[in-house]
Chains A and B, each alone.
Chain A
Amino acid sequence: MTGSKRQPRHHAYTGVPRWIYTLAVLAALVVVLPLVAIVGRVDWANFLPLVTSESAVSALGLSLRTSAASTVLCVVLGVPLAVVLARGRFPFLGLLRSLVLLPLVLPPVVGGIALLYTFGRQGLLGGTTEALGLQVAFSTTAVVLAQTFVALPFLVVSLEGALRTGGHRYEAVAATLGASPGTVFRRVTLPLVLPGLASGAVLSFARSLGEFGATLTFAGSLQGVTRTLPLEIYLQRETDPDAAVALSLVLVAVAVAVVALAYRRPAGAARRGASSGERPTAAAAADGQVT
């Protein structure tokens, strides 16, 4: 009940010791203070010209396009993967899960190198892609691939959590009512985990938008082709710190919007109980790094 938050009718016992509040405030400061600092450093007079420069607009546009593409790719590939991880029963399932989640903890630059040796000219699949007339490395496709690589686990973790919390009792009942596995998936499983899927997709989008290390390593930094907003900010920091700060603020604003979207409690969720799994799991939320 958000309405009663400010004026609790009774002071219900919470059992939280006082020193916890001190440390909690400190933790909040660690996160909030840098944001305040960046807002304070913005050159508001020139803010609009700075964020609408040709290179900035080009970078922002590229970032939005590639992030949208990689989010779509994450949904298309991540939903089946999450379903298999949550419902499948075969040996090495645990190992597969660990491997799939690896990009969550892997330094993105390492991911970039790995991608380079997969899709690069000398890479594992380099010959195949070249034969098809595709030059993947250092192209916009590479940007999308790098973003998908780092963002996929976010969707998988979020969705797998939702699938597990929901359990499969609804699916069992649907089957006994005569629904084939395809119908059950389309009409029962997907609608039930939709909140989890949505927050997973939003998180994937955010992770893609912030992707830096893997992109720089695997796709390079070519304006209009592979130079996304984070790369542009990093570059501008050398020559025009004011532009870098202004663009950073744009990304902060986007991040705030994304978090608000992902953690918004859907109407009716409270009544439906805790089964909807609309919140991403701690593992997904824990990885906040941008580079």
Chain B
Amino acid sequence: MTFSFQAAVGERGFDVSLSLGPAETVAVMGPNGAGKSTLLSVIAGLIRPDSGRAELNGRPLFQLGDIPADGVHVAAARAGAGDDRWTAPHHRGTALLAQEPLLFPHLTAVDNVAFGPRSTGTPKGRAKAEARHWLAEVEAAHLAARRPPELSGGQAQRVAVARALAADPGLLLLDEPMAALDIHSAPLLRRLLKRVLADRPAIIVTHDVLDALMLADRVVILENGRVAEEGPTRQVLERPHSAFAAGLAGLNFIPGTLVGDGVLSRQGLHVAGHAEDPIPADRAAAAVFPPSAVSVFLTDAHGSPRNSFQVTITDLEPHGDQIRVRGDGMAADITPSALADLGLVPGMTVHFVVKAAAVSLYET
């Protein structure tokens, strides 16, 4: 285990545990305010949690407060507050790459990249040579002499990547590194990150499911300061266990309990489907189906084995060459001509119909 982490920040309602294997990249996703940036700040040592412990490559990052007495940490808990340990940010080896490049405006690109090695005592000449190596690594060797105001957003972020890598971090923290880039710069940086993250542990906070698929081995979904779901990226997207992950995967997700041959939601909706693995009755389960499997009718066209839900349309939006119809937490994809035939407008009440065979049921 390269990195293990457990921490709670009371005032932010944050309580997360996480671990990373060697050279593993984990994508952290979740709605705004879920605690993604807090997670990175706590790891980097910029926020001090109320309690918890973390270790990177066998070195403690922090060990604070009442550690839960789960049998393993009892001894540590008994030792009490006197045993608190806190490693200052600059001794952690957890370089942080933020949404904005935050290049030091008074230093040239090469001096920015040399900043990490210089700070840890590398002689000037060697630090510069290392900096040039890392600039070349991010395809920015020709930008070495430029000052940050003379760089485009994409160039600056590439230099920032080189600067983070030059610090030789034990764990690289990336906080939405692509979010501030235009659509032309983002793919280049994503390709670059794929290459440099391949052989080093990293945590990347992102809103983009593409980042998770391309860069990460595993995805962790945070909701309200807790881990809502985690697992290999593909598995999470194929069988989401949280509404957020289902949204990422573009799937309709109706949680509830298993009743009969379907899931009974908290709103009293019964969704029939098929379960690949048998689920015991009354267990928490979810009915999951793609919007493309949903047909829209103006009148109730109920007929077994179909599900039909009365839905009030809230939004209509283009989705590829289809139109996505949203309402009551569900989505349906229909063709533009179907939209014209039905004359759908927001506020209308319609029926979403989906075959039971198209609905997957599984335990959550």
User: Chain A interface (Cβ within 8 Å of chain B)?
Assistant: 169-170, 172-181, 183-184, 187-188, 191-192, 194, 268, 271-272, 276
Q: With both chains docked as a complex, state the minimum distance between the C-beta of B232 and any C-beta of chain A, in angstroms.
A: 28
**Chain A contacts of B104 at CB under 8 A?**
170, 174, 187-188, 191-192
**Chain B contacts of A180 at CB under 8 A?**
88, 90, 119
Contact of A179 among B45, B46, B119, B164 (CB under 8 A): B119
Contact of B95 among A169, A176, A183, A191 (CB under 8 A): A176
Contact of B106 among A169, A177, A181, A192 (CB under 8 A): A192
Q: With both chains docked as a complex, state the minimum distance between the C-beta of B21 and any C-beta of chain A, in angstroms.
A: 22
Cβ of B60 within 8 Å of any chain A Cβ, yes or no, is: no
Please tell me if the beta carbons of B96 and A173 are within 8 angstroms of each other in the complex. Answer: yes
Please tell me if the beta carbons of A174 and B96 are within 8 angstroms of each other in the complex. Answer: no
User: Chain B interface (Cβ within 8 Å of chain A)?
Assistant: 44-46, 88-96, 98, 102, 104-106, 115-116, 118-120, 147, 149, 163-164, 167, 169, 173
**Chain B contacts of A191 at CB under 8 A?**
104, 106
Please tell me if the beta carbons of B167 and A178 are within 8 angstroms of each other in the complex. Answer: yes
Contact of B90 among A179, A194, A272 (CB under 8 A): A179
Please tell me if the beta carbons of A169 and B98 are within 8 angstroms of each other in the complex. Answer: yes
**Chain A contacts of B96 at CB under 8 A?**
172-173, 176
C-alpha spacing A177/B88, complex, angstroms: 12
C-alpha spacing A194/B89, complex, angstroms: 25
**Chain A contacts of B46 at CB under 8 A?**
172, 175-176
Query: Which of chain A's residues has its CB closest to B160's CB?
Result: A173
List, sorted by A's number, 24 A–B pairs whose CB atoms are closer than 8 Å. A169-B102, A170-B104, A172-B96, A175-B44, A175-B89, A175-B90, A176-B90, A176-B95, A176-B96, A176-B169, A177-B95, A177-B116, A177-B119, A178-B90, A178-B95, A178-B119, A179-B116, A180-B119, A183-B119, A192-B106, A194-B106, A268-B147, A272-B149, A276-B105
Contact of A268 with B44 at beta-carbon distance under 8 Å, contacts A174-B119, A177-B164, A180-B119 already known: no
Query: Which of chain A's residues has its CB closest to B95's CB?
Result: A176
Please tell me if the beta carbons of A176 and B149 are within 8 angstroms of each other in the complex. Answer: no
Please tell me if the beta carbons of B149 and A174 are within 8 angstroms of each other in the complex. Answer: no
C-alpha spacing A184/B115, complex, angstroms: 10
Q: With both chains docked as a complex, state the minimum distance between the C-beta of B86 and any C-beta of chain A, in angstroms.
A: 14
Please tell me if the beta carbons of A192 and B105 are within 8 angstroms of each other in the complex. Answer: yes
Please tell me if the beta carbons of A178 and B149 are within 8 angstroms of each other in the complex. Answer: no
